[in-house]
Amino acid sequence: MNEFAEETIHPDLQQNIRRLREISDNTSDLMVNEFLLSGIPAALLTCEGMVATSIITELILEPITHVQLSAPTAQTVFSHIQNRLLLSLDRSEAKNYRDLFRFLNSGFAVLILHGASSALVFGVQGYDKRAVMEPSGESNIMGARDGLIEVVRINMSLLRRRMKTPFLKMELFPVGDKTQTDLCLCYMHDRVPQKLVREIRERLQSTELESVLSTGYLQPFLENRRGNLFDTVSTTQRPDVLCAKLLEGRVGILIDGVPYAMIVPKLFSESFQTMDDYCFRPYYTTCIRWIKYLAFLITLLLPALYVAVALHHPELLNRTLLLLLAQSEENAPLSLTAEAIGVLLIYEIIREAGLRLPKAVGGSVSIVAGLIIGDAAVSSGLISTPILTVTAIAVISGFVLPDLNQPLTLLRLGMILAGGLWGLFGISLVGAAVLFNLCAGESFGMPSTAPIAPFRRKSMRDVLTRVSFRKMQSGHFTVEEYHE
């Protein structure tokens, strides 16, 4: 904890300014404008680049320099400004240096007065920010086009625009000793279990983090068990998705500086749902959803099954397929397991390279990977065509479920290894372990595998199928129903 955290504001203006400069070590972006306010020495503190200069001039400096009281003291001037002048909608008072710096560095203008042991703060933020635009990661066809941005207050407004009910509650509080990042806890207070909100708030406020720069910093504090392969906290860039989740009694967490919202709890079945599912006709959505389930199995199991069957259980293949595989693998210099793992590792390397490189260079990575490596490896006989085809199908199927990319990448490799070493028996064993790991996932008492295990027949209407909103409109489902 900083030594100045609880230190109250010094009533002497010059000593106060000296102390402020001392704490901030004469930082260049601290702007101090001294002037006389109704005859009392005063100073307006701002952080350069964080405030809108025109707003300060017009709405703060102009009115307060005209204040003339008959017997002015620090208290009467403050009281006059507080009660008679509505300089800003976002007004507050800082009692100590920690609060003062938090407001100052959040883009507030801070008014300090000789003789006053507190400071008045006015919200006049005017820093540059990215415009609200379509989210890059969660594109859809018929849903809304706006996505969350880095400014928490804009994100709150995006949410409020969709949810005009007074039951939507947003709680702002700072987290992170050094960054003092604003966190906004959002929930529908008529739907959410109060115990869930209380527990999340307590966990977030009890963190001893110095900084919160992304969702990953807070995620471990919201997860109940280590060793889970699958996330129990979901993230979204879309305000409409966040609204839908809040209406189901979940809690959303917006972080200042992060264009993602975290949602607690997350169910595994949500990885197969998108906003478009609720825009298209139910029969089409049901079909697409089953394709996604199939894609999940393909991306996880196909390369491993191929390796296991080809190496250990060739009797399971029909004659034509067996001859085809035997012919293509005849001249391959590497074992099938090594080939499969090698191809997948190369794919991961190429993917990582494409992600991190500048976009201009990223395109050439695809050309080198696809044309040169792929074509050359097959024509030189280093890699067989079937393994390349199987891997490509598995990888493309994985693109259908971007939410599950991380666990699937690791599990795919594990499955291939198990299939290569122990055949279908190995795949079954790893599969059983993964199934148990998935079932062990729990978020604040809500099992990840709900509504399949524990089974809820009513919820199957949005898991196995997607029924029409005529049927879904009744019932007011909340995630609390799954609590165990």
Partner 1 sequence: MNRIRSGQLTTALLLSNAFMLMCMSAPMGMESMWGAVIAFVLQGILCIPMLLLYKEGFTLTAYCSRKHYIVPLLFVLYFIVRGGISFLLLWKGSEHLSLPFSQPLITAALIGAVCLYTASLGLRTFARAGTIAFGFLIFTLGILLLGAWQRIDFQQLYPTADNTVFGSAMHILSLGDTLPALFVLLSFTDQKSAFSSLRFLGLSLLLWEVILFLCITVLGNLLSAAEYPFFLLTSVSQPLTTQRADAFYLIVFVLLCVIRLTLLTVLSAHLLGMLFPGLRCRSILSILGMIGAAAAFSAMGFEENLWCIIGIVLFACVIPLLFCLRMKKNPEWKEEPTS
Residue ranges that bind partner 1, judged by CB under 8 A: 305, 309, 311-313, 315-318, 421-429, 431-433, 435-437, 439-440, 447, 449, 452-455, 484
Q: Shortest distance, CB of residue 292 to partner 1, whole angstroms?
A: 17
Q: What is the DSSP string of 138-157?
A: S--SSS------S-HHHHHH
Alpha helices per DSSP H over 357-441: 359-367, 375-379, 385-399, 405-440
* Shortest separation between residue 481's beta carbon and partner 1, angstroms: 13
Look at residue 127 and give its three-state secondary structure: coil
DSSP line for 236-294: ES-HHHHHHHHHTT-EEEEETT-S-EEEES--GGGGG--GGGGTS-HHHHHHHHHHHHH
Burial class for 176, CB neighbours closer than 10 Å (0-12, 13-18, 19+): buried
Cα–Cα separations (whole angstroms), residue 426 to 114, 299, 360, 408: 77, 17, 43, 17
Q: Distance (Å, rounded) from C-alpha 75 to C-alpha 81?
A: 10
For partner 1, the closer of residues 85 and 321 by Cβ is: 321
Indicate the helix (H) or strand (E) that contains 77. Answer: helix 74-84
CB nearer partner 1, residue 55 or residue 309: 309
Q: Nearest approach, Cβ of 445 to partner 1 (angstroms)?
A: 11
C-beta closer to partner 1: residue 381 or 454:
454
**CA–CA distance, 445 with 482 (Å, rounded to integer):** 8
Judged by beta carbon, residue 350 or residue 424, the one nearer partner 1 is: 424
Q: Quote the least distance from Cβ 225 to partner 1, whole Å.
A: 9
Shortest gap between Cβ of 451 and partner 1 (angstroms)? 10
Of 202 and 315, CB closest to partner 1: 315
* Residue with Cβ nearer partner 1 (256 or 442): 442
Q: Alpha helix (H) ranges present in 315-384?
A: 319-329, 336-356, 359-367, 375-379
Residue 439 to residues 299, 411, 432, 471: CA-CA distances in angstroms? 20, 16, 11, 29
Place of tokens 């009660």: 83
How far, in Å, are 55, 71, 80, 431 from residue 67 at the CA level? 18, 12, 9, 75
Phi and psi at 339, nearest 5°, equal -60, -50
CB of 182 or CB of 329, closer to partner 1: 329
Q: How far is the CB of 3 from partner 1 (least distance, A)?
A: 43
Please report how close the Cβ of residue 136 comes to partner 1 at its closest, in angstroms.
34
Q: What's the closest the beta carbon of residue 309 comes to partner 1, in angstroms?
A: 7
Q: How far is the CB of 154 from partner 1 (least distance, A)?
A: 40
Nearest residue (CB) to partner 1, 215 versus 449? 449
Provide φ and ψ at 253, rounded to 5°: -125, 120
Task: Tell me the pairing of strands 30-37 and 108-113.
Answer: unpaired
Taking the least distance from each CB to partner 1, the nearer of 305 and 390 is 305
* Positive or negative: CA dihedral 131, 132, 137, 141: negative
